[in-house]
Structure 1
Amino acid sequence: MTAYFIQAFIYLLAAVIAVPLAKRFGMGSVLGYLVAGVVIGPVMGLVGQETSTIQHFAEFGVVMMLFVIGMEIDPKALWAMRVRLLGLGGLQVTLTAGAGMGVAWWLGLQWQTALTVGLIFALSSTAIVLQTLDEKGLSKTEGGRNAFSVLLFQDIAVIPMLALIPLLALPGLKDDSGSASGPEGGLSLVASLPGWAHALVVVGAVAAVIVGGYYLSRPLFRYVVKSGLREVFTATALMLVIGIAALMSLVNLSPALGAFLAGVVLANSEFRHELEANIEPFKGLLLGLFFITVGAGINFEVLLAEWGTIVSLGTAVIAVKALVLLALAQMFGIRSSNGWLFTLGLAQAGEFGFVLLTYSVQSNVIPPDISQILSLVVALSMFLTPLLFIVYDRIVLPQYRRSRNDEREADTIDEQAPVIVAGVGRFGQIVCRLLRANNVPIVVLDHELEQIENVRQINIKSFFGDASRPDLLEKAGIEQARLLVVAIDDRDRAVKMVKHVKKFFPGVWVLARAFDRGHGYQLREAGADDVMSETYHSALELGGHALTAMGVHPMRAKQMTWAFVENEQAHEEQLFEAWKEIEEGINFSPRYGELFMKLEEALSSAMHGDWEELQSKDVPVWTPPEHH
């Protein structure tokens, strides 16, 4: 028992240390798990023989992952993105699998093995790509949305791939290994049945999952919920997934297939969110454990002996996938930097490649020695993914920005005004409209051509050019201007712009838009005279509506929002001074945390204090919302 505790401690300690470090350096959690496995396995030798046994257990995390993916699939959303999902995603998987199969067959592999290799490398890393897109704020771009569509199709395509692989078993491998592709332990409901009976049992098992999930799950969960015990609900969720996986194994189908079907059936259940919340921790932990075992199982002897082959294949995988993706980007009209984001973001192999490799070896499709090399190739391509995103950030994106700006010179600014507005996106447009409505002369600058054209359509004269350029500011009349409104969408450029203006033109009053509290402090430190968070007042307004919806009188809700603002302003200087300590190198400022807690206490006191009586003449007629 002590040995098990020590092994569990080693695995968890490796994850706790490596994963946060990997995320901090922008590599993603999956790579963190892989690195942790490499360190405790081949490098330090802390784990060894038990790795393969633990890996079989950890594979259940993949089953849980597909169960959660099934619950997240909305038929309406899928229909809306059907062109990108089926067209773009389907072509990507088909063409990449075909190219991979061709290369593998050319290298001398049998067609069954070559096809499986093509399928493995057709998949990309959902975990790495989506996390990186979110961290870099690229999820809503055209390239990010199309990448998500392809990743979603790939996740769904794993199901038929898992069902297809056992059909590709090689008799020679089966004879050599002495194993069969059926379920482990010899338990099978279809082992001795004729073909027609086998088919009927399989169809019956799938029908049982669908019908049972739709009609029996709701009464079961309602019965469990009445107990009021959260742990029983968790046990029920695990029982459901494990039971479905066991049933699929008994009929020689992929457990992941059954879990996915059950997830789709439960997608519209009222218990969906509770199921996800209960399954998510187990799924994440088991997937992490699976990736650690993959890293721990890397054979460094093979890596050292075949490093040339592995590096060559890894480079070839990225190059071939990138060519296919680039061609599809052109075909589907994903242009300029978005096309390169789509291409470089999906050019690696994915975590499901490890799953398919393990399953292919168990199903006697890929020999173990080839599987070891391919596993290292998958890992190498994933390790290189952060570098691909760095190439996009540092090389591709600046080139397209420069070329876009070079295509059109900055407009000749032939007007000057007492107010200069830098940036006319969704925030700056409202400022411009308000100023124009009051006949205040303004000069508008923006380096996004689309924004300039949009503003000109509503008869606001504006000029194309980078507002942070000192020469353009001078041409716009910054020396004689009374007011500068900084509403550009680049945090760093906004801060530098404020610093420049306050240094050389200190008499200009600077109003700046902040993205959040920290950015607001940076702008204040740069010299901005007035800073406003873009979401502050809209959030206050919505908060007031939330109070009204809960039965608070609208006028009382207004008073509470005003008290909130006054409370924030009263503590603003103290928080700003405490924030400076953090910026000057203190990683964590206890003083800032204490001040923020005092702010919350003062806010709570203000909310529960005595209020002035509402005057009847100021109170509109109002009926409280009905309680349902």
Structure 2
Amino acid sequence: MSEAGGDDLLTATVILLGAGVTGLVLFRRLGFGSVLGLLIVGMLLGPYGLGFATGGTELEGVAEIGVVFLLFLIGLEMQPETLWGMRRAVFGLGGLQVTVSGVVMAGLAAAFGQPPAAAFILGFGLALSSTAMCVQMMEERGELYSDWGRRSFAILLFQDLAIVPLLALVPLLAGGGLVAEPGPFLLRLAMVSAALLLVYLAGRHLLPWALDIVARQRNMEAFTGLAVLAVVVAAWAMRLGGLSMALGAFLMGLLLSRSRYHYQLEAEVAPFKGLLLGLFFIDVGMTVDLGALLADLPRLLPLLLAMLVLKAAVVYLLARLFRLDRPGALRSALLLSQGGEFGFVLFGAAAARGILDPDTYGLAILLISSSMIVSPLLQRLGDRLAARLRPPQPLPALEQMVAEMEGHAVICGYGRVGGTVGMMLDGLEIPFVAIDQDPVRVEAGRRGGKRILYGNATDPKVLKLAGVGRAGLVLVTIDNPAVAERVVTAVRNFFPDIPIVARARDLEMRDRMLAAGVSEAVPEAVELAITLGAVALRHMGVAEADARDIADMLRRRAFAALRRHPSLARPSEATGRARALEEEAPGAG
């Protein structure tokens, strides 16, 4: 690569990343989510906007891998039994949605004068939705595994399957024949079967064996490479077979979901997914020709409204038929009303075969692009309308339950440490209320029957809502030292008599917590050292009672002997950073 070419690539990377991060922060702050922000960034930077980036097939190819990584992670999180339990929703609800929406949209296209073949392609192409957009928006809200989220995902999964026969029909519709030659058909069937077999063998046997080898060697670089390779192999095999790359990645994730390395695979792949999926939405935004959109607005706007209303109506009625409640059916309907990325593929194939004329093809592409732009706004509208149909019940019910509690524990920070303490309290049937600022964690905990409030534990209104004034104990398990200290100060200022037990990183942080007013602070690094030491003593033949006595002696003396050890007396890096921290940052227990 020449130096000039390298400079151009570096400049484009800086612009894309800088603008992407700005769009993410701004639009999330405005409450619209990340998808709309990235689409707008793509529109502004693309060839039809300011022209800083041109997109092209290279960016499009890289960006599509983001969708592949997203579906792989979903497969990892979904056990095969869960998918089998969704079979009625996938093939029943999903099949009906594609069929009914396709027929309705094809009828609309025919009413506007399109010939039968073009009307069929337009109808079923517009019946498909954007898997990437819908799944990302549900993930951001923590609703992918809700009842309506699962039904929506089932429809999207069937749409990914439906694109295969739809693409196979394009040459038949172009030639006017209804019977395919047996040779090409059998070859295609063999390629599809081979692709599925390759994904199965790799996910069921080859990759678990390879992961075992590199895990025993503690070769984390190779482990990361295998995690990425698993995704790419599935996408490559499915593409060779003429199937959806995203569907292949989902199947690979599903096969590896029972692996002992499930969580590590998820951790390795997630950063790639976030970056590449962001590029996908930026690339979609770059395809929007604002000039053409404004010029065609008189034709485009009625078609867009008709498509959104008809698709939403079909999904809503079918979801109600499959016994989804009204708020969930409405949210699913508005979520799935947009066009999808597979529509671009289907319409492109049809245009290449002469089924769609250039004007119709351009208008159809604009229709999909504009529907994807308004999709985040429709999802927000769906949230508000669903709230009116059925006001949220969990929070008022939770407030009522907390109002009746007394002598309970309040856990500030419900991450790994806070969740473990909660399990111990549950085991002894000691009631507790948790406070956390991670909406996904709060939603997951509530679905599990836990009393978790979303809010800032330094806010006296949130503390009062958690019943701190009637509680028997407050536990601060937040791992950010600065935030934890502010929580302790707030609790002590407003509720001076309540006992407080806090988590501390080291001995210096323990002293600061005690000075702030906690009843006891547990220095996690030192406690780990004491526990390891006691275990080591037992393995060296020391009686368990003697090992326990030594550990208890260190604790009774307030760790005075340990303070003389230079490595334990020195404050941790986190505590050092906390001294200079001026603004509160969210922490997790």
Partner of 2:152: 151
Partner of 1:373: 363
Partner of 1:500: none
Identity %: 29
Partner of 2:481: none
CA RMSD between the two structures: 4.7
Aligned 1:141-290 pairs, distance under 5 A: 145-170=146-171, 196=186, 199-290=189-280
Pick closer, same or farther for the CA change 1:109–1:271 going to 2, 3 Å: farther
Distance 1:83 1:207 in 2: 24
| SS at 2:146 equivalent | helix
- Matching of residue 39 in structure 1 with residue 44 in structure 2: yes
Query: Which residue of the other structure, out of 331, 337, 361, is the alignment partner of 1:347?
Result: 337
Distance 1:214 1:227 in 2: 21
| SS at 1:209 equivalent | helix
Partner of 1:425: 397
| SS at 1:216 equivalent | helix
Query: Which residue of the other structure, out of 532, 544, 548, is the alignment partner of 2:468?
Result: 532
Gaps of 5+ in 1: 175-191, 405-422, 436-486, 490-512, 544-565, 578-593, 614-628
Partner of 2:489: 571
- In terms of mean alpha carbon deviation, does 212-221 or 82-91 score higher? 82-91
| SS at 1:281 equivalent | helix
Pick closer, same or farther for the CA change 1:382–1:58 going to 2, 3 Å: closer
Note if contact 2:93-2:155 (Cα within 8 Å) is conserved in structure 1.
no
- Matching of residue 22 in structure 1 with residue 40 in structure 2: no
Partner of 1:60: 65
| SS at 2:158 equivalent | helix
Pick closer, same or farther for the CA change 1:524–1:113 going to 2, 3 Å: closer
AA at the equivalent of 1:96: S
Note if contact 2:41-2:285 (Cα within 8 Å) is conserved in structure 1.
yes
Alpha-carbon displacement from aligned partner over 1:104-126 (angstroms, at most 9, x marks no partner)? 23334454543443344334455
Structure label with greater radius of gyration: 1
Partner of 1:549: none
Pick closer, same or farther for the CA change 1:374–1:302 going to 2, 3 Å: same
| SS at 1:384 equivalent | helix
Distance 1:244 1:514 in 2: 39
Aligned 1:253-402 pairs, distance under 5 A: 253-350=243-340, 353-354=343-344, 369-392=359-382, 397-398=387-388
Q: TM-score, normalised by structure 1?
A: 0.60
| SS at 1:518 equivalent | coil
Partner of 1:71: 76
Partner of 2:119: 114
Note if contact 1:571-1:599 (Cα within 8 Å) is conserved in structure 2.
no
Distance 2:294 2:212 in 1: 57
Alpha-carbon displacement from aligned partner over 1:320-344 (angstroms, at most 9, x marks no partner)? 0222133234434445544444443
Distance 2:490 2:300 in 1: 57
Distance 1:284 1:373 in 2: 31
AA at the equivalent of 1:18: G
Distance 1:597 1:319 in 2: 62
Distance 1:313 1:597 in 2: 67
| SS at 2:339 equivalent | coil
Distance 2:313 2:332 in 1: 11
Distance 1:76 1:70 in 2: 12
1:221, CA displacement in angstroms? 1.5
Pick closer, same or farther for the CA change 1:226–1:119 going to 2, 3 Å: farther
Note if contact 1:90-1:153 (Cα within 8 Å) is conserved in structure 2.
no
Pick closer, same or farther for the CA change 1:57–1:338 going to 2, 3 Å: closer
Note if contact 1:51-1:296 (Cα within 8 Å) is conserved in structure 2.
no
| SS at 2:218 equivalent | coil
1:54, CA displacement in angstroms? 1.7
Pick closer, same or farther for the CA change 1:375–1:264 going to 2, 3 Å: same
| SS at 1:347 equivalent | coil
Aligned 1:406-425 pairs, distance under 5 A: 425=397
Distance 1:161 1:356 in 2: 11
Note if contact 1:38-1:295 (Cα within 8 Å) is conserved in structure 2.
yes
Note if contact 1:112-1:365 (Cα within 8 Å) is conserved in structure 2.
yes
AA at the equivalent of 1:14: A
Distance 1:258 1:516 in 2: 37
Distance 1:209 1:287 in 2: 23
Note if contact 1:427-1:534 (Cα within 8 Å) is conserved in structure 2.
no
- Matching of residue 515 in structure 1 with residue 520 in structure 2: no
Alpha-carbon displacement from aligned partner over 1:540-588 (angstroms, at most 9, x marks no partner)? 8xx9xxxxxxxxxxxxxxxxxxxxxx999963367879xxxxxxxxxxx
AA at the equivalent of 1:518: N
- In terms of mean alpha carbon deviation, does 598-607 or 72-81 score higher? 598-607
1:232, CA displacement in angstroms? 1.7
Distance 1:296 1:596 in 2: 53
| SS at 2:456 equivalent | helix
1:517, CA displacement in angstroms? 5.8
Note if contact 1:61-1:287 (Cα within 8 Å) is conserved in structure 2.
yes
Pick closer, same or farther for the CA change 1:229–1:346 going to 2, 3 Å: same
Gaps of 5+ in 2: 1-5, 176-181, 408-432, 436-450, 478-483, 496-507, 528-552, 558-589
Partner of 2:108: 103
Partner of 2:423: none
Alpha-carbon displacement from aligned partner over 1:131-159 (angstroms, at most 9, x marks no partner)? 6567668x49xxx9343123211332243
Alpha-carbon displacement from aligned partner over 1:473-520 (angstroms, at most 9, x marks no partner)? xxxxxxxxxxxxxx9x9xxxxxxxxxxxxxxxxxxxxxxx99356367
Distance 1:571 1:235 in 2: 46
Q: TM-score, normalised by structure 2?
A: 0.64
Pick closer, same or farther for the CA change 1:280–1:119 going to 2, 3 Å: farther
Distance 1:36 1:147 in 2: 30
AA at the equivalent of 1:380: S
Note if contact 1:51-1:297 (Cα within 8 Å) is conserved in structure 2.
no
Pick closer, same or farther for the CA change 1:596–1:386 going to 2, 3 Å: farther
1:97, CA displacement in angstroms? 2.4
1:316, CA displacement in angstroms? 0.9
Note if contact 1:520-1:533 (Cα within 8 Å) is conserved in structure 2.
no
Pick closer, same or farther for the CA change 1:223–1:374 going to 2, 3 Å: same
Distance 1:534 1:219 in 2: 55
Pick closer, same or farther for the CA change 1:237–1:365 going to 2, 3 Å: farther
Distance 1:80 1:349 in 2: 27
Distance 2:274 2:470 in 1: 35
| SS at 1:515 equivalent | strand
Alpha-carbon displacement from aligned partner over 1:296-336 (angstroms, at most 9, x marks no partner)? 12223321221122211211111102221332344344455
Note if contact 2:68-2:249 (Cα within 8 Å) is conserved in structure 1.
yes
AA at the equivalent of 1:16: V
1:234, CA displacement in angstroms? 2.0
